[in-house]
Amino acid sequence: MPCMRLKEIGEFELIERMARIFQQDGAAVANAAAAFSRLVVGIGDDAAVWRESSSQYTMSTTDAMVEGVHFTCATTDWYDLGWKAMASNISDIAGMGGIPRYALVVLGASGELEVTNVLDLCRGMADLAGRFGAAIIGGDTISSPLTMVSITVLGEAVRGQDRGGAPPILRRSAACPGDWIAVTGRLGSSAGGLELLLKGSGRVDAQFAPLAEAHRRPVPRVEEGQLLVSAGVRCGMDLSDGLIGDLTRICRASGVSALVEVDKLPVDPLLREAFGERAVELALSGGEDYELLCAAPAEILSEAQLLLHRAGVDLTVVGTIVDRDLERAPVMLCEADGQLRMPTRKGWEHFTSNGDSARD
Amino acid sequence: MPCMRLKEIGEFELIERMARIFQQDGAAVANAAAAFSRLVVGIGDDAAVWRESSSQYTMSTTDAMVEGVHFTCATTDWYDLGWKAMASNISDIAGMGGIPRYALVVLGASGELEVTNVLDLCRGMADLAGRFGAAIIGGDTISSPLTMVSITVLGEAVRGQDRGGAPPILRRSAACPGDWIAVTGRLGSSAGGLELLLKGSGRVDAQFAPLAEAHRRPVPRVEEGQLLVSAGVRCGMDLSDGLIGDLTRICRASGVSALVEVDKLPVDPLLREAFGERAVELALSGGEDYELLCAAPAEILSEAQLLLHRAGVDLTVVGTIVDRDLERAPVMLCEADGQLRMPTRKGWEHFTSNGDSARD
């Protein structure tokens, strides 16, 4: 049998095969039956969720960054790196509508790394975690030729919000045809900020500083996720890999398709000023927005819009969930003139290069 | 100010400085006051522990392995690697006297890695986790030039075992002068097995296979940790870095010193056969035993010995906790003839090379 390499099967296929071993294979899984019986959400969502008691749910997520892939030591601002590493994990808790409580940090580094860099990294992590009331309580330090950071965040679901037996969380698999699709804040700013930072070798015109800031120090939508849950929303996730890529995940998990109305996308006027027509492309495919993406019936979304508006945050309806259409890509774009268009990039997938089409 | 590098301060000093930022620094920590108030054990033990409710404690540990430091892809048996990565984490839960429940796995790999290797790795992890009823419920896959595995395990303390307000866990900081020191099973077998494997390029005489097995597929002392707690033991940890190194950690955390009676060390007769005099050295300093080390008053240890004996496991008294003696190393060895000797290796410390003395 010829040997098959990871790049040939890609991340989604790999995760599916791993999940089969972890969740379905033989004796090991049978032994863990009690633990699995309390599991509400397993592999394939922003975080795993399990029931502690009738009204209490714990959630946990983990995420890693490696030098040379996710950052470069030469140009890294260590404080920002720590901030972003923690933000991406806490954003996964936000994407489940949860409350972050505790974090564990693994740091891998060579003995040559400067101590001040590591401590700046820690300050960035601590400041972001503290902003949301999460305590960093443990971890591991290991020797590693490449610098790496792996973070685990534990959180809990908001209590007393069970509706008709549905746990008070946002999950990817709960979208239904007819649901409206909405996003918090504005899209594409982080990707735009990154482009400007790269073009200016780390410097950005003062005018466009907010875009660079969106890239360097994203602020996860923690309270907003909880408000979505309170309004009754049950389908959602955080936007880390771009709207099209992440909405594709919701479609796959829910067995539905989605129509996105391109002219409704919330785009920062600064992004339009800096990128013109390309702003829409960044809003559709740019990663690391750390906004929330959700789907719910119109009346629930209206309620959610009201709650978020009171908290000073926009929740913008950008499309509709429709029946699965196997003939088309799971996510279709609807232009202002009513023309349907297939997206050309589907967001980041590890191991393989990005495909040209979101067809699955 | 001259720049200081990690290798100059070593792992213990680094962790102390990181802990200061995570646990004491300013606004971030103040914001997380509610989370910290429920924390029972923070940075510096096998796992972090916090109170969920009056009788319920959750614990969490995380640990990573990187290619080139902890294993080499060329000679790795991937199933064994997965087994050991999971074993070292579950052993940390065992070292707290806890019950492992859930695990999250981060896998970093290049696209060139063979799929079958990754799946074998997953099978090793799943089999070890399943053996103890723990379910692997999530994680992350990332692209990385070096293969790396980072695992987080969540567990809980045994219930209904609070004694005089002391939570039902084993911790490093609870040793008192006069306590007896004890270890489960036998020491040094894993280190001996590794030497034999290296010498034989992966092959070992059938006669010594149990030593190789101890190295390749260690079995954490999960039930044993819970039995120690049930007997009333409150000080303990798992042995991953060698008896002297780990006992030094207990001494530091508890502000005490320790006397180890060398001729009482439980050593596998096979290890003596293979290594002669050196067997004792391996028992004192060899890593990856994944046995348990504990300290408790004599009557409690006797009770623990009885419970473990019924479970078919030896708990051997190997020394005594004494008042801290700042003139000497925290751990002193007492030879059969009553001579005191200072240990010459203190176990593994990351970033720096091992010191020649356990003096702290």
Q: Which of the four pLDDT bands, split at 50, 70 and 90, describes residue B175? A: very high
**Nearest CA-CA partner of B137 in A260, A182, A41, A281:** A41
pLDDT tens digits for B302-352?
A: 999 999 999 999 999 999 999 998 788 899 999 988 899 888 754 545 566
Q: What is the DSSP code string of A265-329? A: ----HHHHHHHTTHHHHHHHH-----EEEEEE-HHHHHHHHHHHHHTT--EEEEEEEEE--TTS-
Q: Which residues, numbered 159 to 178 in chain B, qualify as contacts with chain A under a Cβ-Cβ cut-off of 8 Å? A: none
| Alpha-carbon span B263 to A238, nearest angstrom | 59
Contact at CB, A140 and B64, closer than 8 angstroms: yes
**Residue B344 has what pLDDT?**
75
Collapsing DSSP states into helix, strand and coil, what is residue B142? Answer: strand
In the prediction, which pLDDT does A358 show? Answer: 36
Provide the b/e sequence for B82-118 (b: ≥16 CB within 10 Å).
bbbbbbbbbbbbbbbbbbbbbbbbbbbbbbebbbebb
DSSP state of A355: P
Q: What is the mean predicted confidence (pLDDT) over B164-176?
A: 92
For range B44-55, the mean pLDDT? 91
A189-244 tens-digit pLDDT: 999 999 999 999 888 999 999 999 999 999 999 999 999 999 999 999 999 999 99
* pLDDT at position B303: 98
- The burial class, CB within 10 Å (0-12 / 13-18 / 19+), for A207 is exposed
Q: Name which residue leads in pLDDT, A223 or B30.
A: A223
pLDDT recorded at residue B359? 36
Residues of A in contact with B21 (CB under 8 A): 119, 122-123, 126
Kindly state the average pLDDT of the residues B138-164.
90
Q: Is A214 helix (H, G, I), strand (E, B) or coil?
A: helix
Over range B211-219, report the average pLDDT: 96
Of all residues in chain B, the percent with pLDDT exceeding 70 is 94
Structural domain spans, chain B: 46-157, 172-341
pLDDT band, residue A132 (cuts 50/70/90): very high
pLDDT band at B19 (very low <50, low <70, confident <90, very high): very high
Average pLDDT over chain B reads 92
The identity of residue B96, as a single letter, is M
CA distance A257 to A334: 13
Gap between the Cα atoms of B56 and B54, Å rounded: 6
The pLDDT assigned to B163 comes to 67
pLDDT of residue B349: 55
Of B11, B18, B146, the CB nearest to A122: B18
pLDDT tens per residue across span A303-352: 999 999 999 999 999 999 999 987 888 999 999 888 998 887 545 555 66
Q: What percent of chain B has pLDDT over 90?
A: 81
CATH class of B46-157: alpha beta
Judged by CB atoms closer than 8 Å, whether chains meet at A351 and B141 is answered as yes
* pLDDT for the residue B230: 96
> Quick one: what percent of chain A has pLDDT higher than 70?
94
Question: Six-digit token pair at B213?
Answer: 């097995």
Collapsing DSSP to helix, strand or coil, A85 comes out as helix
Tokens 């490093």 belong to residue: B172
Whether B46-157 shares its CATH topology with B172-341 is answered no
pLDDT at A360 exceeding the cut of 50: no
Region B137-155: mean pLDDT is: 95
Report helix, strand or coil for B312.
coil
Closest by alpha carbon to B281, among B262, B294, B264? B262
A183's CB contacts (< 8 A; 6+ apart) are A239, A243, A266, A291, A292, A293, A294, A315, A316, A318
| Segment B164-172 mean pLDDT | 89
User: What's the start-to-end Cα distance of chain B, in Å?
Assistant: 26
Of B30, B101, B141, the CB nearest to A15: B141
Q: What is the mean pLDDT of residues A110-118?
A: 95
B291-296, strands of its sheet edge to edge: B235-239, B291-296, B180-184, B315-323, B256-261, B331-334, B340-341
CATH H-level superfamily of B172-341: PurM-like C-terminal domain (3.90.650.10)
Which of B132, B140, B172 to mutate: most A Cβ within 10 Å?
B140
Q: CA geometry: angle at B119 spanning B114 and B121, to 5°? A: 100
- pLDDT bin (cut points 50, 70, 90) of residue B186 is very high
pLDDT at A169 over 70: yes
Q: What ipTM does the predicted assembly reach? A: 0.91
Q: Which of A32, A50, A146 sits opposite B146 (nearest CB)?
A: A146
Cβ contacts of B30 on chain A, cutoff 8 Å: 130
Which residue in B has a C-alpha nearest to residue A101's C-alpha?
B35
pLDDT for residue B31 = 87
- Best of A20, A70, A92, A144 to mutate (most B CBs within 10 Å, chain B): A144
Taken in order B159, B160, B161, B164, the sign of the CA dihedral is: positive
pLDDT at B350: 59
Q: What is the CATH code for A47-157?
A: 3.30.1330.10
Residue A183 Cα distances to A116, A163, A238, angstroms: 38, 22, 9
Measure the CA–CA gap between B157 and B174, rounded to whole angstroms.
17
Query: Within an 8 Å CB–CB cutoff, is residue A31 touching chain B?
Result: yes
Residues 42-101 of B with CB under 8 A from A: 42-43, 45, 47-48, 50, 52, 56, 58, 60-66, 68-70, 101
Q: Which residue has the higher pLDDT, B120 or A348?
A: B120
Express the helix, strand and coil content of chain A in percent, nearest 5 each.
40, 25, 35
**Is residue A353 pLDDT above 70, yes or no?**
no
What DSSP assignment string belongs to A220-278? --HHHHHHHHHHT--EEEEESS-HHHHHHHHHHHHTEEEEEEGGG----HHHHHHHTTH
Q: Does residue A80 have a pLDDT over 70?
A: yes
B360 interfaces chain A, CB cutoff of 8 Å: no
Of A3, A102, A127, the CB nearest to B35: A102
Q: What is the mean pLDDT of chain A?
A: 92
Contact B120, B82 (CB under 8 A): yes
Question: What DSSP letter does each residue of A183-211 carry, written as one string?
Answer: EES-SSHHHHHHHHHHHTTT---GGGHHH
User: What pLDDT sits at residue B334?
Assistant: 93
Q: Rounded CA gap, B302 and B315, in Å?
A: 9
- 10 Å CB burial of residue B52 (0-12, 13-18, 19+) is middle
Of B109, B123, B140, the CB nearest to A6: B109
Taking the C-alpha atoms of residue B221 and residue B91, their distance in angstroms, rounded to an integer, is 7
